[in-house]
Structures are given as structure tokens and as C-alpha cells.
């Protein structure tokens, strides 16, 4: 029997999905794909068991709604029969008299209401024939559509073992057509969603949940409804079918057959184990009676899940009552009349197994989720897969994502926090540098103003003291005093010039300079005491850079002099030259006294000096800072003045673009 075109059976309401992977865990065939953290059901892989709907605490999984289709059908001119699954007493327990329930369905517009239990009666007789025939091969029951899909899709070699008997629903459809005419439309109402795609012999399949919705929509209540009754043929023991072990309770089998020859497995874990053992030949000649749910009374189309024993009792009581009033003669006659209907069906192999990825592919993914060796395989199941390896396979197959691995995600989070801390620290030091440069900028403005104002009077002092000097005799005291005035005025002018430099009032005029030779030149222009060794290491591909030679000479000489002054007992100055992308870097490392932590903040401030009066002006580094800035470069300092922390000394690092952009 061909199956109906496959509809998407289960949908995800994305807003509700909270990514807990419970549906992945509970899906017996792993038909759920996680894509960008969202769970979606892959229809081709789904067997319609509805487990994902049952287990989703957020109600994010919903099944195909067929109410619109039913309303259309009822509005047509066709006669429409409703075949009611025998589990209905477990669903509509609030309606005390089932006749009212039948009345409500009639009110909705059905022409006939039939008991699917009668179909089960006939199907059970077909099973009895096989089970009591000692020569028959072991079979797997085929009354549960999810089981049939499971075998066809995931154990296709077992398809030939499926009992070639229709389900009670399809049996009932054939019975209905025989009794009420081929043109009569058939609607099945039950607890199952897989039935919606089981067979194209049924026009519409609705769940109890959907029927409730329609009752509400059309305001059909027990109070406003007249009682009615099922239309014939009436069911016998077949009505007990939906309760667990149903099929066996239906057929009057010999006890030893029940015990020895049939294995009953219900629920999504048990049925898979049974199929595996069956497939591996561990079960001898035993038949399998399989149900995907723990009895149809726990199907996903029931309004409430759980309360299995109450539900069994409700169905049991209903059947007991019915059987007490059953006209057995009529039942036997009906069975006889309809037993000539063909109750066979064929199955189709629909192999949905996916080739396993290679070991290399799996290992690669395992490493990407931090599983380097066997000890890392926690198999915690948080991802929804039983083992890390199963998860990795699903990742290769495109059904799962790395982030689903909880230990991996936690570790990644830790790493991010660490990285965040590092960039936080970087931000803090950048803020510090900004503060420093703001401070220097405002000092620069101030000094520029002062220097400008002082320049002219200093010039006048210098000029007039020189004129006066020339007019007096060189031997006189006045001459010597004037010489001192002129000398000191000259010194003041130098300081003022330095201030102007720091304030960036000067322009840079760059030219191509061989920086290696330039550094040698800077060393030649200072006096290096004997106890100090200077080493130069140059690692430049191309030593030509664009700088302002006069200003850069000032920079190098100032730093070199500072280094020498910091090493009164002698030491080493190592100058390293290297490239970094488009920059060149000069590193000047001395083994001097170092700079204390509290002074580190102050060394670029004008007039800050730790040297005695007359020796230091505190203008060297501020001027250097200004010049480097004008070259669009950077100057960094590292220093250690504590011998307990290792060799003392200071390193200045100057980074400047190799060429000027403008």
C-alpha cells in the first residue's frame, strides 16, 4: 500500500525553543537538527512518534493541524464517516455518557460515527492466524505507523518481517467503504499523529486535541447536545486495543503462545532494543509486538500526558460495559460478513540511514570540541546525544553544532572572560596613556605661550649684554659679569627653544635616512665613558626610512645620554633595530638604575627630573615625546629599579612609520 505524500508532521515555534536539547535526546531516530541554536525536525527522518512534542516543556513543538481540511470536507456534499479510535474514553473522561460524545460528533456534521475497535477485531483475527501457524516466520507487528516507519527507514532489511496486515484504522476505512459506499469519505480521530501520514485510504486524520478545538470553535458542549450512538458494525474486544498489551488482550490465544512466542515492547527505548535483538537473531523464533508509545492511550494527540493507569481503567471500564451489552450473534455475523475484505498491505523500503563519516572526520570534529584523548570523552549527554562520538558524527552529518557540547561551551566562555579581562587591561592602559597625552598637550600650550613671551626679552638681554661687553675692557669686573649675563641668557634661550620643541610648534621636514648609519652617528656625537659598552643589532631588510634627521638626532642623543647617566658604575646599552609591518622600531635597553614605579607616570612631564640642579632640566623626554608624536609614532618605556625582581634597567621602545603618509 503506498503511503500518502509525506507532509511535514512536526513544527518548531522558534520563539519558544530555549535550546535545551531535550527533543534531541528523546528523539529515537535523531531526526532533529540544531541550526544556529534552533531545533528543527527533519521531516524525511521523522517517524511521527511525537516524543519531541511530549517532552518539550516550552510547548515549542507542534504537529500538523488538520482541522481546516476536516471543515472543508464536512462542508462538501460527500457523506463523511468518523472512525473513532478506541482510546477515546481516556481522553473525554469528563463526558460521563459516551452517547453524548457521539452526539457532539454528529453535531459537528459527520454522517456516520464508527468504532475503529471493530477494525481491530478483524485485524486481531489476521494476527491470530499467523501466530498460531507454527510454520510462519517471526513477524513484527505493523499496527503502529511509527514502528512501520522506523523499520522502513532505519532497519530496511527487516521490512519483509513486518506483518502484511493493515492497521485497525485502515481496516476500518475498508469496512466503512464496503458498508456505506465507496464514495463515503473516511475521517480517523485518535491519539496518534503518525496516522496523519500512514495511509492515503483515509481522507483526514485528526487527533483528539484537534477535535476538542473544533468543539470549542463551534460551541458544541455536552450540555447543548442530544445523545446518539455509534453506527454499525459494533466492536467487540477490539476496543481494548489501545491499552498496553492490547492486541494480545484482543485475541483469544493459547496461553503458551502468549508466553513463549511473543515479545511485547512498548515505548521508544524498549521497542528499539527489541528491534536490535530481533535483527541480531537473538530472539529465536519469537514474534515482536511493538508500540512506539506506552500504549496508544499515551499518544501525543491526547490532551493530557501521563495518568496511564487511570486511562487504562477508563478504557477498560468502557469496554467491559460495552461487552456486557454486545449482541454477540450480530458481532459474529458482522465479522463473517466483513472477513472477505482484503486486510493485507505491502511495505516500501525507504532507507534513511546515513553513511557513517570516516574516523578522520570524526576525530577532527572531536578535537574541535576539545576532546583530544579518550579521557576527554565525558559522554555527559548534555548535547542530547549519548556519547561524544555520536555528537561528533551528528556534527559531521550537519545535524548538530559544536556549541551543543556543554563542557566545550563552558571552557570557551572561560576563555572569553579571560580575553575580555585582557582587553579590559589594555583599555585601562590606553586610557592612562590618553590622560597622559592630554596632560602633556595642555602643558605644551602653556609652555608655548611662555616660551613665546620670553623669547623676545631674552633676545634683548642677550643683545644688550653683548653690546655692553664689547664696550668695556676685558680685564674689568663688569666685563666678566656681562659675560655671565650673556651666557646665562643664552642658556635660557636654549631652554625656551626646547619648550617650543615640546609644544610641537616646530614642523618636521623629512628626508630619506639610512637609519643604521644614523644610529652610529648618534653614538659618535656623545661622550661614552669607558665603563659603558654600546651594542647595536640591526635586523632591517631595508635600512632607509623617512624621518626629520635633526629632530631624530635629538631624540637618540637624549635617550642615550639618559641611559649613560643612569649607569654611573658602568653597564651595557643595547640598541636593537627591527621592522614591524610598516613601522621600524628602535629599542634602547640599558642596565642602569631603572625608574621607580611612581616616577614612571612623571618622566614625560616637562621639568620633571631626578638629577641635581644644574645637571638635569627635565626637558629631554617631553621633547622626545613631542618629536615622536610629530613623526606619528609611539614611545613606550619598561623599567625595573628593584634588584630583587631581576636585573635593573630601562628600555625605551620607539615605533615610527617607515614612510610618512602625507
Of 40 and 590, which CB lies nearer to ligand ADP in the complex structure? Answer: 590
Of 113 and 621, which CB lies nearer to Mg ion in the complex structure? Answer: 621
Q: According to CB under 6 A, which one of 611, 642, 647, 659 is a site residue for ligand ADP?
A: 611
Pairing type for strands 511-514 and 571-580 reads: unpaired
Q: Which cell numbers in the block locate residue 76?
A: 462538501
Contact between 578 and ligand ADP per CB under 6 A: no
Choose the stretch contacting ligand ADP; rule: CB under 6 A; options: 188-196, 277-285, 537-545, 556-564. 556-564
Contact between 610 and ligand ADP per CB under 6 A: yes
Of 199 and 650, which CB lies nearer to Mg ion in the complex structure? Answer: 650
Q: According to CB under 6 A, which one of 145, 592, 626, 633 is a site residue for ligand ADP?
A: 592
Q: According to CB under 6 A, which one of 26, 91, 121, 590 is a site residue for ligand ADP?
A: 590
Q: How far apart are CA 272 and CA 278, in angstroms?
A: 10
Partner touching 563 among Mg ion, ligand ADP, none, CB below 5 to 8 Å by kind: ligand ADP
Q: According to CB under 6 A, which one of 595, 627, 628, 654 is a site residue for ligand ADP?
A: 595
Of 90 and 573, which CB lies nearer to ligand ADP in the complex structure? Answer: 573
User: Please, what sign has the CA dihedral across residues 516, 519, 523, 525?
Assistant: positive
Contact between 609 and ligand ADP per CB under 6 A: yes
Q: Can you give the three-state secondary structure of 320-377, one letter per residue?
A: HHHHHCCCHHHHHHHHHHHCCCCCECCCCCCCCCCCCCCHHHHHHHHHHCCCCCHHHC
End-to-end CA distance of the chain: 81
Are the beta carbons of 271 and 290 closer than 8 angstroms? yes
Neighbouring-strand partners of residue 512: 546
Choose the stretch contacting ligand ADP; rule: CB under 6 A; options: 290-298, 351-359, 375-383, 591-599. 591-599
Total residues contacting Mg ion by CB under 5 A comes to 2
Give how far Cα 456 sits from Cα of 355, 453, 462, 489, 590, Å.
91, 7, 10, 11, 40
Contact between 497 and ligand ADP per CB under 6 A: no
Contact between 620 and ligand ADP per CB under 6 A: yes
Choose the stretch contacting Mg ion; rule: CB under 5 A; options: 188-196, 384-392, 396-404, 560-568. 560-568
Contact between 239 and Mg ion per CB under 5 A: no
Burial 366-405 (b: 16+ CB within 10 A, else e): beebbbeeeeeeeeeebbbbeebbbbbbbbbeebbbbebb
Partner touching 314 among ligand ADP, Mg ion, none, CB below 5 to 8 Å by kind: none
Of 440 and 595, which CB lies nearer to ligand ADP in the complex structure? Answer: 595
Choose the stretch contacting Mg ion; rule: CB under 5 A; options: 243-251, 469-477, 532-540, 619-627. 619-627
Q: How far is the CB of 562 from Mg ion (least distance, A)?
A: 4
User: Which residue's CB atom is positioned nearest to Mg ion?
Assistant: 620
Q: Enumerate residues 6+ apart whose C-beta is below 8 A from 27.
A: 51, 52
Contact between 620 and Mg ion per CB under 5 A: yes
Choose the stretch contacting ligand ADP; rule: CB under 6 A; options: 236-244, 279-287, 505-513, 558-566. 558-566
Closest CA to 237 of 126, 128, 331: 331
Q: How far is the CB of 498 from ligand ADP (least distance, A)?
A: 10
DSSP 3-state assignment of 582?
coil
Are the beta carbons of 295 and 268 closer than 8 angstroms? no
Q: Which cell numbers in the block locate residue 257?
A: 503462545
Specify burial of residue 148 (Cβ count, 10 A radius: 0-12, 13-18, 19+). buried
User: Please, what sign has the CA dihedral across residues 465, 470, 473, 475?
Assistant: positive
Partner touching 566 among Mg ion, ligand ADP, none, CB below 5 to 8 Å by kind: ligand ADP
Are the beta carbons of 333 and 327 closer than 8 angstroms? no
Q: According to CB under 6 A, which one of 27, 519, 603, 627 is a site residue for ligand ADP?
A: 603
Of 222 and 618, which CB lies nearer to Mg ion in the complex structure? Answer: 618
Q: How far is the CB of 462 from ligand ADP (least distance, A)?
A: 23
Partner touching 11 among ligand ADP, Mg ion, none, CB below 5 to 8 Å by kind: none
What is the maximum span of the chain, computed from C-alpha positions, in angstroms?
A: 157
Choose the stretch contacting Mg ion; rule: CB under 5 A; options: 216-224, 368-376, 586-594, 615-623. 615-623
Q: How far is the CB of 625 from ligand ADP (least distance, A)?
A: 9
Q: According to CB under 6 A, which one of 22, 141, 562, 589 is a site residue for ligand ADP?
A: 562
Q: How far is the CB of 652 from Mg ion (least distance, A)?
A: 11
Q: According to CB under 5 A, which one of 225, 562, 591, 648 is a site residue for Mg ion?
A: 562
Are the beta carbons of 44 and 352 closer than 8 angstroms? yes
- Residue 542 half-sphere exposure, CB side, CA atoms within 13 Å? 10
Q: According to CB under 6 A, which one of 617, 627, 633, 654 is a site residue for ligand ADP?
A: 617
Q: According to CB under 6 A, which one of 52, 563, 585, 654 is a site residue for ligand ADP?
A: 563
Partner touching 418 among ligand ADP, Mg ion, none, CB below 5 to 8 Å by kind: none
Of 612 and 646, which CB lies nearer to Mg ion in the complex structure? Answer: 612
Q: How far apart are CA 128 and CA 84, in angstroms?
A: 24
Closest CA to 389 of 362, 369, 360, 408: 362
Partner touching 190 among Mg ion, ligand ADP, none, CB below 5 to 8 Å by kind: none
Partner touching 239 among ligand ADP, Mg ion, none, CB below 5 to 8 Å by kind: none
Are the beta carbons of 398 and 33 closer than 8 angstroms? yes
Partner touching 650 among Mg ion, ligand ADP, none, CB below 5 to 8 Å by kind: ligand ADP
| Alpha-carbon dihedral 48, 51, 57, 63, rounded to 10 degrees | 10
Choose the stretch contacting ligand ADP; rule: CB under 6 A; options: 199-207, 301-309, 483-491, 557-565. 557-565
User: Which residue's CB atom is positioned nearest to ligand ADP?
Assistant: 620
Contact between 566 and ligand ADP per CB under 6 A: yes
Compute CA 527 distance to the chain's CA centroid, rounded to the nearest angstrom. 65
Q: How far apart are CA 534 and CA 211, in angstroms?
A: 95
Of 203 and 590, which CB lies nearer to ligand ADP in the complex structure? Answer: 590
Q: How far apart are CA 662 and CA 650, in angstroms?
A: 33
Total residues contacting ligand ADP by CB under 6 A comes to 20
- Residue 461 half-sphere exposure, CB side, CA atoms within 13 Å? 17
Residues that bind ligand ADP (CB under 6 A): 558, 562-563, 566, 590, 592-595, 603, 608-611, 616-618, 620-621, 650
The residue ranges that bind Mg ion (CB under 5 A) are: 562, 620
Amino acid at each position: 500500500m503506498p503511503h500518502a505524500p509525506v507532509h511535514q508532521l512536526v513544527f518548531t515555534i522558534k520563539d519558544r525553543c530555549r535550546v535545551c536539547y531535550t527533543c534531541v535526546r528523546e528523539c529515537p531516530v535523531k531526526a532533529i537538527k540544531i541550526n544556529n541554536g534552533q531545533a528543527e525536525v527533519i521531516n524525511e527522518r521523522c517517524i511521527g512518534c511525537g516524543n519531541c512534542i511530549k517532552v518539550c516543556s516550552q510547548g515549542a513543538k507542534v504537529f500538523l493541524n488538520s482541522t481546516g481540511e476536516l471543515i472543508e470536507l464536512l462542508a462538501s456534499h460527500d457523506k463523511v464517516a468518523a472512525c473513532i479510535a478506541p482510546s477515546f474514553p481516556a481522553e473525554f473522561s469528563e463526558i460521563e455518557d459516551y452517547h453524548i460524545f457521539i452526539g457532539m460528533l454528529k453535531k459537528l456534521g459527520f454522517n456516520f460515527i464508527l468504532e475503529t475497535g471493530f477494525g481491530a477485531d478483524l485485524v486481531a483475527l489476521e494476527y491470530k492466524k499467523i501466530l498460531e501457524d507454527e510454520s510462519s516466520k517471526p513477524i513484527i507487528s505493523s499496527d503502529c505507523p511509527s514502528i512501520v516507519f522506523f523499520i522502513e527507514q532505519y532497519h530496511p532489511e527487516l521490512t519483509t518481517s513486518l506483518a502484511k496486515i493493515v492497521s485497525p484504522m485502515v481496516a476500518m476505512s475498508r469496512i466503512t467503504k464496503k458498508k456505506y459506499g465507496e464514495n463515503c469519505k473516511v475521517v480517523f480521530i485518535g491519539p496518534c499523529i503518525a496516522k496523519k501520514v500512514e495511509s492515503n485510504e483515509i481522507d483526514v486524520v485528526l487527533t483528539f486535541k484537534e477535535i476538542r478545538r473544533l468543539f470549542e470553535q463551534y460551541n458544541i458542549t455536552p450540555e447543548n447536545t442530544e445523545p446518539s450512538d455509534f453506527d454499525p458494525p459494533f466492536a467487540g474486544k477490539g476496543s481494548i486495543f489501545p491499552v498496553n498489551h492490547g492486541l494480545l488482550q484482543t485475541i483469544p490465544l493459547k496461553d503458551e503462545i502468549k508466553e513463549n512466542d511473543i515479545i511485547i515492547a512498548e515505548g521508544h527505548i524498549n521497542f528499539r532494543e527489541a528491534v536490535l535483538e530481533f535483527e541480531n537473531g537473538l530472539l529465536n523464533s519469537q514474534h515482536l509486538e511493538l508500540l512506539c508509545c506506552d500504549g496508544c492511550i499515551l499518544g501525543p494527540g491526547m490532551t493530557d500526558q501521563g495518568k496511564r493507569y487511570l486511562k487504562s481503567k477508563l478504557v477498560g471500564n468502557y469496554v467491559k460495559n460495552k461487552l456486557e451489552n454486545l449482541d454477540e450473534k450480530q458481532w459474529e455475523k458482522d465479522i463473517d460478513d466483513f472477513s472477505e475484505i482484503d486486510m493485507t498491505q505491502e511495505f516500501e523500503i525507504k532507507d534513511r540511514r546515513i553513511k557513517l563519516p570516516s574516523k578522520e572526520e570524526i576525530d577532527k570534529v572531536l578535537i574541535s570540541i576539545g576532546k583530544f584523548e579518550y579521557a576527554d570523552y565525558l559522554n555527559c549527554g548534555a548535547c542530547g546525544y549519548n556519547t561524544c562520538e555520536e555528537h561528533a558524527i551528528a556534527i559531521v552529518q550537519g545535524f548538530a553544532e559544536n556549541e551543543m557540547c556543554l563542557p566545550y561551551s563552558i571552557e570557551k566562555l572561560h576563555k572569553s572572560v579571560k580575553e575580555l579581562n585582557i582587553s579590559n587591561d589594555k583599555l585601562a592602559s590606553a586610557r592612562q596613556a590618553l590622560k597622559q597625552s592630554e596632560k602633556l598637550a595642555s602643558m605644551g600650550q602653556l609652555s608655548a605661550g611662555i616660551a613665546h613671551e620670553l623669547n623676545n626679552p631674552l633676545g634683548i638681554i642677550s643683545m644688550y649684554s653683548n653690546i655692553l661687553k664689547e664696550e668695556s675692557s676685558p680685564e674689568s669686573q663688569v666685563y666678566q659679569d656681562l659675560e655671565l649675563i650673556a651666557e646665562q641668557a643664552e642658556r635660557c634661550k636654549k631652554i625656551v627653544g626646547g619648550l617650543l620643541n615640546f609644544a610641537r610648534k616646530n614642523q618636521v621636514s623629512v628626508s630619506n635616512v639610512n637609519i643604521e648609519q644614523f644610529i652610529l652617528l648618534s653614538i659618535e656625537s656623545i661622550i661614552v665613558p669607558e665603563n659603558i659598552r654600546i651594542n647595536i643589532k640591526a635586523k632591517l631588510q631595508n635600512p632607509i626610512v623617512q624621518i626629520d634627521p635633526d629632530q631624530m638626532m635629538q631624540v637618540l642623543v637624549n635617550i642615550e645620554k639618559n641611559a649613560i647617566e643612569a649607569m654611573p658604575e658602568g653597564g651595557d646599552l643595547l640598541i636593537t633595530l627591527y621592522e614591524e609591518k610598516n613601522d621600524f622600531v628602535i629599542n634602547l635597553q640599558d642596565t642602569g638604575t631603572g625608574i621607580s614605579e611612581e616616577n614612571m607616570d612623571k618622566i614625560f612631564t616637562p621639568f620633571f627630573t631626578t638629577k641635581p640642579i644644574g645637571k638635569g632640566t627635565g626637558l629631554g623626554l617631553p621633547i622626545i615625546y613631542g618629536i615622536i608624536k610629530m613623526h606619528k609614532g609611539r614611545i613606550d618605556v619598561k623599567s625595573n629599579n628593584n634588584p630583587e625582581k631581576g636585573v635593573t634597567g630601562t628600555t625605551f621602545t620607539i615605533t615610527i612609520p617607515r614612510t610618512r603618509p602625507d
